[in-house]
Chain A
């Protein structure tokens, strides 16, 4: 059948040739909005880069990153893997009841030990000889709730918490797992939803000796949020609403950013709603050191939170009893230099970390 041969050649040539021309002629994109990362750019062609092989290796990355309809092809791959090949995950990401999560196992004991060592360093250096009261709380990742439902392997959470609490005998452990469920996390992101944390915040506030009021007003930006897992998985899942809570107290708060030496009005950066990662709305995103000043709080009470990104959305809910709440992220600032900025005396100190960071604690300085 000569016509069949011609159709085979024609279709394959159209596919290969079409995408080839498209790749060659289309302008290069600077970044991937779905994956929130810069895309590789056309490498420099010189005798030196060719001889060293650098041009070729960079070209391979460039060709992958700038391929036309890249996001569409990534969606196709996820669909083939999950629905046709019946795989349980794609690039370690899986979907249970519309919620995406990332496999996080097994327990890396060395990582937990390292995190405990870094926390111990903070304690020994700044807290041991003070009247500070130290608390520890561990935030379970989404797998804690989703993995058993879908038959996915998980960390041994009990062992992780047991290990950490035994190495942090100077801290009182506040168990928040009972205040959380799978619905309290974004469907497309690892983070939790601030509007679902009122019970948890109330528990922490009470446990640290404060009075709790849940007088907050809910604000909602509809269908604006596609979390980091959405971009990584590549499936065309719908965008989510992003909510944040305000109160008269929070309205009066201002935030000092030690990186820019500047005060910001309010605890939320609403301009981030238009940005690539609207979750950065909470306390201005990834910051090494921030202080929230609360004019309505008790000026003699101060809270210091050693935290990861989960702390950004929770901290505003813990402000109400304190004159000052300081957030320290030792992924971005060395704990050795904290005394340049902070004086540790009489504060409540909360170590608030997610299991994902504890199990990958190499990022802690």
Chain B
């Protein structure tokens, strides 16, 4: 089920909210679990088995790790849990990629599984891994209550598109959490804003990227419009989902960490990744980069560590060579920045911003492409090397039709709208307070209108 659907907004959400707030505190986790399983099973009911298996193995092995803490057996149980989680992820997400490539190279003749990727498997696998590793490290105690662990892993707000919530962050909230008017209002506002980012901006920008893909009249201008729209679409889609998740969590009394902080205003790739998909970046930092030695190793080893982390980051996004190239490209840039020119970028912020924006357009075009060859062809188009004309009629039409939205989206990707809203609320607190609820209802009405019209509503996370 998608947040941006009539079924979720007008059937699922009211039902879960009513039941959740009707039942006493001790029943709230059970309501959350039942609805989370319904939410997950809505798309692929059969994969509920995987979800329940994952929760159960995380629960049992987590308890065993704690039981045998500081003995070799704890390590065995940790590796067993990691093998089960990663084995499942590997089979469903990477087997066909691996087997297909080995077969193509003539090194093997492996059968392809051709199974549908369980939605959100990359997210909940990482949550289980972080849980058992943290138990092993003694950072958190193993959860004795199965229901609470099941809620942590399966909670529908962050189940299919993150943020990747650490068990340590919400452990106390799983036991008890406050439910306040302020929390619910902030959460509802955040949810509606996220929904608007997804439905009004990302989906509309998605129409432009689709128009580019379908076009038989490409030009250099069209490639750049596509590149810009593509980067903004992915940002608003992904950050919109994160906003909705954080908002829903807040309504239910949880505090999830931020996942995006205006990444496009960054002045370097290093800063960009501190602002983009923060929960994933910090997960890889804590559970891969630092265990590999982090930066406290020789320079050569450090570069290898960086590339390993970014290879994994690329592959996490999808089992295709374009994601591998996308991740490694970022790894190389991050290493190069730290080794050679990060200080220069920080001294020249304008140049830094321009550099970052160019990197974003080129890398996200590769990210969005259908394979590495396609991605490189699109990069050629951006560079004017594909033999395309500078301008085409379709590109001019796309510019005329989507120009205003692109400007809105560019402004919306900066902290400007939030700053304006804060200033208005500060100067005219009563007016601000009166306008905000009406604006939220108007946005919800507009999103409903776009959804009812059955407009473009792609799900970008099927690979994750």
Contacts and interface: CB of A to CB of B under 8 A. Distances in A.
Contacts of B9: 16
Contact of A73 (B188, B394, B449): B449
Contact of A4 (B185, B192, B446, B453): B185
A132 B188 CA distance: 73
B404 A8 contact: no
B181 A91 contact: no
Q: SS class of chain A's interface: helix, strand, loop or mixed?
A: helix
Contact of B436 (A8, A50, A51): A8
Interface in B1-52: 1, 5-7, 9-11, 13-14, 42-46
A56 interface: yes
Contacts of B186: 5
Given A59-B7, A67-B6, A7 B444 contact: no
A281 B299 CA distance: 82
Interface stretch (A82-90, A243-251, A297-305): A82-90
Interface string A1-37: 1111111110110011101100110000000000000
A91 B451 CA distance: 13
Contacts of B455: 77, 91
A20 B448 CA distance: 12
Contacts of A8: 185, 188-189, 436-437, 440
A88 B397 contact: yes
B232 to A, nearest CB: 14
Given A51-B45, A151-B400, A73 B7 contact: no
A2 B181 contact: yes
B279 interface: no
Interface string A47-66: 00011010010011001100
B83 interface: no
A74 interface: yes
Contact of A85 (B13, B45, B405, B449): B405
A16 B404 contact: no
A11 to B, nearest CB: 5
A54 to B, nearest CB: 11
Interface string B322-361: 0000000000000000000000000000000000000000
Contacts of A206: none
A11 B440 contact: yes
Nearest to B184: A9
A91 B449 CA distance: 14
Q: Which of B1, B14, B405 has the most CB of A within 10 A?
A: B14
Given A9-B185, A12-B444, A77 B11 contact: no
Nearest to A151: B400
A12 B401 contact: no
Interface residues of B, number: 54
A76 B10 CA distance: 18
A98 interface: no
Interface in B364-388: none
B252 to A, nearest CB: 14
Nearest to A10: B437
A87 B185 contact: no
A304 B403 CA distance: 49
B42 A56 contact: yes
A76 B454 contact: no
Contact of A16 (B7, B13, B217): B13
Interface string A292-318: 000000000000000000000000000
Nearest to A154: B393
B445 interface: yes
B10 A23 contact: yes
Given A15-B444, A16-B9, A20-B11, A87 B397 contact: no
Nearest to B192: A12
Interface in B418-448: 429, 433, 436-438, 440-441, 444-446, 448
A64 to B, nearest CB: 6
Nearest to A67: B452
Interface in A134-155: 151-153
A63 B449 contact: no
B450 interface: yes
29 contacts: A3-B433, A4-B185, A5-B181, A6-B185, A8-B440, A12-B192, A12-B444, A16-B10, A20-B10, A23-B6, A51-B45, A51-B46, A60-B6, A64-B452, A67-B448, A70-B452, A73-B445, A74-B449, A77-B450, A80-B449, A85-B404, A86-B403, A87-B402, A105-B394, A151-B397, A151-B400, A152-B397, A153-B394, A153-B397
Interface of B: 1, 5-7, 9-11, 13-14, 42-46, 181-182, 184-186, 188-189, 192, 200, 204, 216-217, 393-394, 397, 400-405, 408, 429, 433, 436-438, 440-441, 444-446, 448-455
Given A64-B451, A77-B455, A151-B397, 13 more contacts: A1-B429, A4-B185, A5-B182, A5-B184, A9-B184, A19-B10, A59-B7, A63-B6, A63-B10, A73-B445, A73-B448, A86-B404, A87-B405
Which 5 pairs from chain A and chain B are nearest by CB? A5-B185, A88-B401, A86-B404, A76-B449, A77-B449
Interface of A: 1-9, 11-12, 15-17, 19-20, 23-24, 50-51, 53, 56, 59-60, 63-64, 67, 70, 73-74, 76-78, 80-81, 85-89, 91, 105-106, 151-153, 234
